[in-house]
Structure 1
Amino acid sequence: MKKLLFVSMFMALFIVSNAQSNKKIEIGTIDTLNSKILNEKRAVWVYVPNQQDNNLYSKQHYPVVYLFDGGAHFYSVVGMTHQLSTVNGNTICPEMIVVGINNTNRTRDLTPTIDDRVPNSGGNEKLISFIEKELIPYIDSTYPTEPYRMLIGHSYGGLAVVNTLINHTNLFNSYIAIDPSMSWKKQSFLKDAEKVLAEKKYNNVNFYLGIANTMVNGMDTIKVKQDTTQMTSHIRSILELANYTKKNRQNELNFQFKYYSDDNHGSVPLITEYDALHFIFSFYNFNITYSDFMDTTIAFPVKIEKHYKEISQKMGYSVKPPEGQINNFGYSSLNRKSYSQAEYFFKLNVENYPESYNVYDSLGDYYVAVGDKSNAIIYFQKSLAIKEIPITRQKLEKLQGK
């Protein structure tokens, strides 16, 4: 019964209404750039996590996921990152901005080299130049980004992901290639990729490779490696990339691949993206136990603080415990009269979010609860100096006897 109560209390801290006042469910915007590099106007779809508590808490910044074939994968990746980062208290991965890059000529944009057999091929380097010199700077200057980027692509898009990984490694922190077209130009690009993977260092770079079942009946992954027909070239090339990358651990690439026997080329993106996010952010999830939640000492908030310091080290920038989460924990502690714990939570928020009026109002509530009138007045005044909130004003005037 106690554990059931804990689960209910814990979930209540995270479940927030997503109702929108205009009665429309909108998950993103269509933005456009006039590219000098591509000499054309390019549309991108952009999702920014919904800050429904934006009027209460400090503005957040987010890592960015870039998608090749944006129109095909935007909805699923947005939904998945939202589910894994916020829904039901999930912290499998961080909340992330998603940028879908749409095509004007898919073959041109996503193939790395010219193949005379394929018209308009070989323009991926130019697209990458656009991403590096125009798109990323635009996204970083327009949206609330953090310096962590991920690239996802499927089929030709997966081929473009591998091209970016081996030739423009520093552009992204993490790469997800989904059933990539590694047989491109009779495997010549595959051979070039293998040479680079053997020689280059990829410290702190993540690469997840998903492989679909594109074999004909009667084949398995052992038989297909021994086959030489064009019919098996696609999966043979991907398996060769997977096995070669796995063997070359000296390059320090954080690599994992998986063969999805129940998924074909068209169905494999969703499950690959799901598994890849778990792999790349294996360190991110914070497991709160029943004993953590019921602890009345400062051990629980100290554990949270330590966890986010470890996350910061992995992500390469300072990641703070979410203001709303810590605020909720603080009030939960306050309601249970765990005053030292509540104080630690509220002061942690003051330290991390000094520009937020809410953190001072909450600390003021703590001082009211412990009977420290003078400090309560000080912190309510600090809150009001940032933003005039009627409820905070009423609390202050009550303490001042007005």
Structure 2
Amino acid sequence: MKKSVTLIIACLFTFSGYSQAIYESFRSIKLDQNRELKIQLPRNYKKNEDKIYPLIIVLDGDYLFEPVAGNVDYFSYWEDMPESIVVGLNQRKTRQEDCQYDTAEFLPELKGAEFFEFIGQELIPYLDQTYRTAQLKIIVGHDYTANFINYFLFKDNPIFQGYISLSPELAPPMGERIESKLAGSSDIWYYLATATNDADNIKNDLIALDEKLSAIENPEMNYFFDNFEESSHYTLVGKAIPHALENIFEMYRPISKKTYKEVILPLETSPYEYLVDIYRTTEKLYGIKRKIRINDFIAVSTAIEKNENWAELEPLGKLAIKEHSDLMLGYYYLGMFYEQTGEPKKAMRAYESGFQLAEVAFLTKDYMLDKVNKIKEDFGW
């Protein structure tokens, strides 16, 4: 049953022909053995030589790599998350030893301690040196391995900023340790999932833990929990992974219609500053600097025009020219600004400058030329 469900999930979420896995055998000194890795690089990794990417480590890579990699490829294609490097660590024969902990302190021991050091001291440094990884690193685990990923959370400076814990079989004091850590954490994303048909002991423990974590008063804590209806210990994986990615990368997504209507349109402060702050915040959170999306420029400019807050179009236009110097968008905003503030000659020159650049969205050369001709006609030039 487990194998068949895994196969179905893999088929649903893997995009063959686009982002194909690289298989590597990694020699570990800590473990004194080779470990098999599955690595998915972003689609245009080779072309974008200066770009860096978040790193997602997937334990139980034998069956968990494909659904994670497929979702990452899909979400990043639609710009709902940054393109990322996904690395699966096969553990079919070793997962019990890998996640071994002692029964006194309930911390990694023997092979478990070696596996912990292998990830932190060998695998991550190797991946950082070999591939263009960003600061943001996420780790994913399921049941036994989902318990294990928490040990990285307890370090003073965790190497992982994101934790996707799928139906973890928690060690006895693990819940209290997670609660204590998240209560004082910042810039950490923690996702936890169970299901109504999950194993009773796991489900009950996680529901109880969620009650404690949800009560934590820490505005900087990024904690998410799901209890999926009619899902099992295995089928919840297919639902949890996309939901986890949605939550972790909420700030990264394009401005939605809901955000436009409920946040931007009624803004009493500067829409321009709101846009700049979004990208400044996401750069801080995810460690990735990116161009401002055309969609986000248009959302903000539409709100500015509806509210007739014309002064906002000048800085918006200059920012659009800086971000997309090859497009007519920025000069259109400057033309609108000058036109609405009584400077028709400057408006005409701005539209003429935009006319020479590439079309974008609703802006065409004919449209820009019409704007120029209308000003000439109105003023008899």
If the length of structure 2 is used for normalisation, what is the TM-score? 0.65
Asked whether the 8 Å contact 2:31–2:118 carries over to 1, the reply is: yes
Report the CA distance shift for 1:154/1:76 in structure 2 as closer, same or farther (over 3 A): same
Q: How does 1:27-106 map to 2 (within 5 A)?
A: 27-51=20-44, 55=47, 59-87=50-78, 91-103=79-91, 104-106=93-95
Are 1:259 and 2:227 an aligned pair? yes
Aligned partner of 2:265 in structure 1 is none
Q: Is the 8 A contact 1:33 1:43 kept in 2?
A: yes
Amino acid at match of 2:243: D
Equivalent residue number for residue 9 of structure 2:
none
Partners of 1:70 and 1:44 in 2: CA distance = 8
Q: How far 1:51 sits from its partner (Å)? A: 0.7
- Mark the CA change 1:345 to 1:300 in structure 2 (over 3 Å): closer, same or farther: farther
How many residues are matched? 301
Where in structure 2 are the equivalents of 1:357-372 lying within 5 Å?
A: none
Q: Match of 1:158?
A: 146
Per the TM alignment, residue 46 of structure 1 is displaced from its structure 2 partner at its CA by: 1.0
Q: Is the 8 A contact 1:92 1:281 kept in 2?
A: yes
Separation of aligned partners in 2, 1:192 and 1:155: 13
Matched with 2:246 is 278
Aligned to 1:398: none
- For residues 3-29 of structure 1, the C-alpha deviation after alignment (integer angstroms, 9 at most, x for no partner) is xxxxxxxxxxxxxxxxxxxx9555121
Distance 1:252 1:345, change over 3 A: closer
> Given residue 42 of structure 2, which amino acid in structure 1 is its aligned partner?
P
Partner of 1:262: helix, strand, or coil?
strand
Deviations 1:70-127 (A, max 9, x none): 121211111111211223xxx3222111011111411011233359xxxx98633321
Aligned to 2:368: none
Structure 1 position 240, deviation (Å): 2.6
- Compared with structure 1, are the counterparts of its residues 320 and 149 closer, same or farther at alpha carbon in structure 2 (3 Å cutoff)? same
Structure 2 counterparts to residues 161-180 of structure 1, below 5 A: 161-167=149-155, 170-180=158-168
Q: What does the per-residue CA deviation read over 1:291-329, in whole Å, with 9 as the maximum and x for residues that have no partner?
A: x9xxxxxx99987654322211222x342217xx66xx9
Aligned residue for 1:320?
Answer: 290
Match of residue 309, structure 1, among 251, 256, 280: 280
Tell which has more relative contact order, 1 or 2 (C-alpha 8 A, sep 6+): 1
Query: Which residue does 1:9 correspond to in 2?
Result: none
1:348 is aligned to 323
Tell me by how many angstroms 1:349 deviates: 5.4
CA RMSD of superposed structures (Å): 4.4
* 1:139 aligns to 2:127 (yes or no): yes
- The 3-state SS of whatever aligns with 1:312 is helix
* 1:194 and 2:179 correspond: no
Could you report, residue by residue, the CA deviation over 1:328-361 in whole angstroms, capped at 9, with x for unpaired residues?
A: x99xxxxxxx9x98885453357xxxxxxxx79x
Q: Is the CA contact (8 Å cut-off) linking 1:30 and 1:45 kept in structure 2?
A: yes
**Cα separation, partners in 2 of 1:32 and 1:302, compared to 1, 3 Å:** farther
* Counterparts of 2:276 and 2:76, CA distance in 1: 18
Identity, in percent, stands at 20
Runs of 4+ in 1 over 6 A off after TM superposition: 299-303, 340-343
| Deviations, residues 32-75 of structure 1 (Å, cap 9, x unaligned) | 321111111112111111118x65x6632111111111121211
Distance 1:172 1:165, change over 3 A: same
Shift of 1:207: 0.7
Q: Is the 8 A contact 1:166 1:193 kept in 2?
A: no
Contiguous gaps of at least 5 residues in structure 2: 1-15, 261-269, 299-312, 331-348, 358-381
Read off the aligned partner of 2:187 and give its amino acid letter. Answer: N
Which whole-Å CA distance do the structure 2 matches of 1:301 and 1:47 have between them?
A: 37
Asked whether the equivalents of residues 111 and 159 of structure 1 are also in contact (C-alpha less than 8 Å), the reply is no
- State how far apart, in whole Å, the 1-side matches of 2:177 and 2:208 are: 13
Q: What residue number does 1:17 align with?
A: none
Structure 1, gaps ≥5 residues long: 1-22, 183-188, 216-230, 293-298, 331-337, 351-358, 377-402
Do the aligned partners of 1:48 and 1:97 also contact (CA within 8 Å) in 2? yes
C-alpha distance in 2 between matches for 1:264 and 1:136: 32
2:60–2:89 CA contact under 8 A, matched in 1 = yes
Q: TM-score, normalised by structure 1?
A: 0.62
Is the 2:19–2:42 Cα contact (8 Å) retained in structure 1?
Answer: no
SS in 2 for 1:283: helix
Contact 1:111–1:121 (CA<8 Å) still a contact in 2? Answer: yes
Aligned counterparts of 1:149 and 1:98: Cα–Cα separation in 2? 10
**C-alpha separation between the residues in 1 aligned to 2:178 and 2:65?**
31
